[in-house]
Amino acid sequence: MQAHGCLQGDFSLEESLSLSTIQSAQLLVESGELERPQRESLSQFAERDLPLSFFHERPRARVLLGDEDALAAARLFAEEIRSGASDRDRGRKLPLNEIRRLAELGLLGLVVPKAYGGPDVSTRTLVDIFKIISHADGSIGQIPQNHHFFVKTIELIGSAEQKSFFFQEVLKGAQFGNGLAERSSSKGARKLTTTVRKLEGEENYEVNGNKFYSTGALYSHWIPVTALNEEEQRMTAFVPRHAPGVTVLDDWSGIGQRTTASGSVVLKNVKVPENYLLPHFQIFEGPQYFSAFGQIMHAAIDIGIARAALEDAASYVRDHSRPAYGSGAARASEEPDLIRRFGELGIRLQAAEALLDRAADAIDQAREDLNAETAGKAALTVDSAKWLVTETAIEITNALFEVAGTSSMDRKHNYDRHWRNVRIHTLHDPARLKLHHVGKWFLNGIYHEYKV
């Protein structure tokens, strides 16, 4: 089944936002504020924006009724997007129709609180939904992660007015992108150069900065941007996607997760009212499960991709691989060594999934009864799951070729997309750090505390 609401693949300049957007992008490249990516295969929006029709002509979103309704919607969506995943990856074709469908099915409203009309699904259900979608298409699976991250931000630190406004936006199908990371990394990933300042004599604030790895921003109605205020406190500014001074480009050229549009957001003197600002730093002033909540979605993405790779490997071995010379097996799928190897991979996958489920339950426990102990357990189990998921996903996506053989590496199969997607996505939050976090608990009884 194809995704609903087809869009044309090519847009004329007249249909794009404006010629000035293109000229602005070119000037930013020439000035060195934007880095021109290596041109292997970039999307057509590397130097121009999506047409306004993409944002204004979306169908109205469903409001999901609860966990089971949400899981059913996710399964339907996964079946609709599955067949085109390899082709989208191969040609770096942005999933415009698929993103519209994601919103239409109500899958952007998953964690909106029930008090505001949302389904407020459990973390276990949210994890299952990320696994289901990422199993079908890893890139599309990643796109809504930041969206749910910022819906949770609003729940935790938004005012009553902000919650009412933004949650209704989400339930109508509005999508949040992200403006979190920056490339100016010589001072470390945690040091921001983006600023938000109160304008003298005005009610507005002004945001300035350059963001990269801005997954989902290209597709979104709002771009939540992390920035430092005058007191060096981390704030989140919810910037309207088409506000004057905002430039969004799909200049992402990574080897994997090719259609996430994880490129640049440039903000030049962007004005936002005070009620679009949230004090992000306040989340970390006491026990919190917010960091664990953000990270567990990433782990679920990798598990979904790993399961798809293992299933592709099994299918190829059964239908195409030849038995090894001297094995004595009539079919590759009857080789004892291959059967044993699939057993190893399957056990590791199940173990990683079980630990991920345990981590989801720990987050839900912290949501119900937040204190230092429940927050610490949530962080501990998510860190444990993140490490095991990373190791398992990389092993499985690499082992696909080991078990399936040389012919499986033919480019027509595009099986390497699983490895490329996992390899690049698992770098998002280095798993090597998790061993230290977990080790501190098992050796010294100290929970790791995430801070900004």
- Given a contact cutoff of 8 angstroms between Cβ atoms, the answer to whether 384 and 355 are in contact is yes
Buried b (16+ CB within 10 A) or exposed e, 258-281: bbbbbbbbbbbebbbeeebbbebb
Straight-line distance from the first to the last Cα atom of the chain, in angstroms, rounded to the nearest whole number = 43
How far is CA 368 from each of CA 241, 353, 371, 375, rounded to the nearest angstrom?
Answer: 34, 23, 10, 11
Say what the alpha-carbon torsion angle 136, 141, 144, 149 is, to the nearest 10 degrees: 140
- Given a contact cutoff of 8 angstroms between Cβ atoms, the answer to whether 222 and 146 are in contact is no
What pLDDT sits at residue 57? 83
Bridge partners, residue 265, by sequence: 211, 248
User: How far is the C-alpha of 298 from the C-alpha of 286, rounded, in Å?
Assistant: 24
Q: Which of 225, 147, 229 is nearest to 179 (CA)?
A: 225
What pLDDT sits at residue 5? 41
Measured in degrees and rounded to the nearest 5, phi and psi for residue 272 equal: -135, 145
User: How far is the C-alpha of 236 from the C-alpha of 280, rounded, in Å?
Assistant: 6
Structure-token match 């057993």, residue found: 343
One-letter amino acid for residue 133 of the chain: I
H-run or E-run covering 413: none
State the sign of the Cα–Cα–Cα–Cα dihedral 214, 364, 424, 417: negative
User: How far is the C-alpha of 352 from the C-alpha of 386, rounded, in Å?
Assistant: 9
Residues with Cβ within 8 Å of residue 303, at least 6 apart in sequence: 131, 134, 349, 352, 353, 356, 389, 392, 393
Q: Which of 104, 93, 98 is nearest to 63 (CA)?
A: 104
The structural domains of the chain, ordered by start, are: 19-171 (1.10.540.10), 185-279 (2.40.110.10), 286-444 (1.20.140.10)
Count CB neighbours of 24 within 10 A. Answer: 19
User: How far is the C-alpha of 10 from the C-alpha of 83, rounded, in Å?
Assistant: 21
Q: How many helices (H) and strands (E) does the chain have?
A: 14, 7
pTM for this entry: 0.89
- Given a contact cutoff of 8 angstroms between Cβ atoms, the answer to whether 335 and 314 are in contact is no
What pLDDT sits at residue 394? 98
- Given a contact cutoff of 8 angstroms between Cβ atoms, the answer to whether 302 and 426 are in contact is yes
- pLDDT (tens, 9 = 90+) of the chain, 452 residues, equals 444 444 444 545 445 545 566 666 677 767 766 665 555 566 777 767 888 888 888 889 999 999 999 999 999 999 999 999 999 999 999 999 999 999 999 999 999 999 999 999 999 999 999 999 999 999 999 999 999 999 999 999 999 999 999 999 999 999 999 999 998 655 555 679 999 999 998 899 999 999 999 999 999 999 999 999 999 999 999 999 999 999 999 999 999 999 999 999 999 999 999 999 999 999 999 999 999 999 999 999 999 999 999 999 999 999 888 887 777 777 878 889 999 999 999 999 999 999 999 999 999 999 999 999 999 999 999 999 999 999 999 999 999 999 988 889 888 999 999 999 999 999 988 888 999 999 999 999 999 988 76
Joined together, the tokens standing for residue 209 give 């900065």
